[in-house]
Amino acid sequence: MRVLGVDPGLTRCGLGVVDGGAGRAVSCVAVHVVQTPPDVALGARLIAVASVVEDWIAEHRPDVVAVERVFSQHNVRTAMGTAQVGGVVALIAAQRGLSVAFHTPSEVKAAVTGSGRAGKEQVTTMITRLLALPTKPRPADAADALALAVCHLWRAPMTQRLAQAQVHSAQLARAHRARLAAAARQAKGAR
């Protein structure tokens, strides 16, 4: 499976493509950071990011796009920009028939470092090791995008199994309720 990880942001938007192999094997395909100047109009900045994301989807052909979920930030302006870029990326992916998965920062940190409270440098160090990169991806947005892709590759099978188990459980519950209702009707008819 090939995942395009996106660490959304208006000033810096990290993009990372990672291939997943058997087990937990992962390899880096490409990494990039889209930068837009703060003094440019919002619409132009979103178009600039969208254009690069469209090119990356066309070039790298991911199976899924993993985007960082805006969880909570103290700076409302930063949170809004992050959410706007995340929305643009999700729209582009959906228009191309790709599924989009959102992961919180703590999910990503826990997946790649073992701790949901890991710092940016820890994430960068672990991504460098996990992907056997010759140098640390910089800025941190690049490492975060790769971490999002790795997180999705490692969490997706578990998430799919959980969804399948929930569907199976719901089917069993419906069948059980139907048997109980049939037994109640039979008991009522016997009186």
Beta bridge partners, 68, equal 103
Residue 98 within any structural domain of the chain? yes
What's the pLDDT tens digit per position in 149-187? 999 999 876 666 666 778 778 888 899 999 988 888 888
Does residue 78 lie in a domain region? yes
Residues designated catalytic = 7, 68, 141
Determine the structural domain holding residue 95 and report its residue range: 2-164
In a domain? residue 32: yes
Name residue, tokens 């395009």: 4
pLDDT averaged over every residue in the chain: 92
Q: For residue 187, tell me if it sits in a domain.
A: no
Alpha-carbon gap, residue 49 to 145, rounded angstroms: 14
Q: Report d(CA 69, CA 135) in Å as an integer.
A: 27
- Overall domain count for the chain: 1
65 assigned to some structural domain: yes
Q: Tell me the CATH number at 14.
A: 3.30.420.10
Q: Per residue in 2-37, pLDDT tens?
A: 999 999 999 999 999 999 988 899 999 999 999 999
